[in-house]
Amino acid sequence: MRKQLRQGIITALALTLMTSMGAAAENPYADVPQNHWAYAEIDALVQDKLIAGYDAAVYDKDKIATRYEMARFLANALSKYEQADTQQKTKMDRLAREFAAELDMLGVRTAETAKDAAQPAKQTNAKKTSITVDGEALIEAMDVDSVEHAGSGAYSWRQRLHINADFNDRVSYKSRIQAGGKFGSGSTANEMRFTRSFIQVKDFFGVDQFQAGRLPLAVGRYFAMALQGDADGFALRHQLGKARLDGYWVIPETDTDVRGVNLNFAPAKSFEYNIGYISADASAKADVPAADYVDAGLSWEMRKGVNGVFNYTKSDNPESPDAWAAQVSYNWVSGKRQSGLYTYEGLVNNRVPHDQAIAVSYRDVDQNALPGYGNFGGFGEVKANGHKGFMIGYQNMVMDGVRLSLQYQDLEDKASGAKDHRYYGAFDLYFR
């Protein structure tokens, strides 16, 4: 009798446990882990204006949401499904599969959820590789006082193709094929090559993201003064609450090892700061000595569309050279937040026709204060000697898919005191 009673109790406990586990798995109010890929996908739809109104206002990628809340945000985007481009639809379809049960509770049915519901259970885990291709074409004209232009040498072109593939929920591949040259040059330098080609793995042995290959690298989330560009190597990224820790070991085109770590902290959507450490070997190609660098910066959205960025870098080279830059930008149409120290790049949302913005910056860069692997060295003679001066830029999405960029630089060579003026204009054409 006791044995039967004991077995009955064990059976009842097991059934209770199994029932509670099943209920938890189907609970729409269960939290979505903060490192879940859905946060980034939902945030991208918010930034692309596919999630609008109240939902866009309350969504916060830095706060934990329930599955029901995530499904509600997704339902908002799905109402604009036919307005989305191919890449956006791919994101929506992927999210619809993840939150199919919650969407069904909300009464939202999609082709993806209906298709998944009709598939046998053994086939629901199968997933085809999702591939997207987009690109841009650039035509630009530039004149720099200290650079001798011969005829069409002032006019350049560039073509880029971006190929992205999601193999599954964790592993993806990203690449950029690029060609460029001067008008009428007709040289082999115009041949296309991969300037980016890397594998990205999420949840890599407990680390949020691992990248390997030829990858884009910039110190901090918004600050690209000390190090910015494409490099061969490895990078790790891990989110710690409102802080993000980056580590990397790469070899840029200047043929030298660069290692570093960076900590970025964003206590609020409108404000963040970071501090980083870089160790770089000498490079004869870039004509820079071996040195260690510390880098600190902050980004502040003072009001919607008005952004300030500040960055400071110091080197342990002789005489302890340093560099600093400050920038203010204003976007009066979409209110897009500026994403770096550029006065003619990233100021507008490329998906918003007639979006317009202006930026003004000042910088003071000593010789050997920066690793020399980015595009912050200036143009002409000031690049090698260090410089100081201001820049002003303007961008306008003159029509859907066509962007106009204008910029003026007034930089002083620190070695000679000579002024170097740069005038720049370009049209970017985007296709998706």
- Residue 374: is its pLDDT beyond 90? no
pLDDT-derived band of residue 18, with 50, 70 and 90 as boundaries?
very low
When pLDDT is averaged across residues 228-237 and rounded to a whole number, the result is 88
Supply the pTM of this predicted model: 0.68
The 3-state secondary structure of 119-147, one letter per residue: CCHHHCCCCCCEEEEEEEEEEEEEEECCC
Query: Which pLDDT tens digit goes with each residue over 77-125?
Result: 888 888 888 888 888 888 888 888 878 777 776 655 455 544 544 444 5
Domains and CATH numbers, the chain: 31-123 (no CATH), 130-431 (2.40.160.10)
Question: Rounded to whole angstroms, how far apart are CA atoms 38 and 79?
Answer: 18
Question: Rounded to whole angstroms, how far apart are CA atoms 272 and 38?
Answer: 23
Distances from the Cα of 315 to the Cαs of 177, 258, 324, 377, in angstroms? Answer: 34, 14, 12, 15
Residue 124: predicted pLDDT: 47
pLDDT-derived band of residue 17, with 50, 70 and 90 as boundaries?
very low
Orientation angle between helical segments 111-118 and 86-98, nearest 10 degrees: 40
Query: Which pLDDT tens digit goes with each residue over 192-217?
Result: 889 899 999 999 999 999 999 998 87
The token pair that represents 71 in the structure block: 């499904």
Residue 159: predicted pLDDT: 93
**Percent of the chain whose pLDDT exceeds 90:** 31
The token pair that represents 405 in the structure block: 């960029």
DSSP percent split of the chain into helix, strand, coil, nearest 5? 25, 45, 35
Question: Rounded to whole angstroms, how far apart are CA atoms 212 and 197?
Answer: 9
pLDDT-derived band of residue 13, with 50, 70 and 90 as boundaries?
very low
Work out whether strand 228-240 and strand 402-413 pair parallel, antiparallel, or are unpaired.
Answer: unpaired
Residue 293: predicted pLDDT: 92
When pLDDT is averaged across residues 279-300 and rounded to a whole number, the result is 84
Residue 2: predicted pLDDT: 47
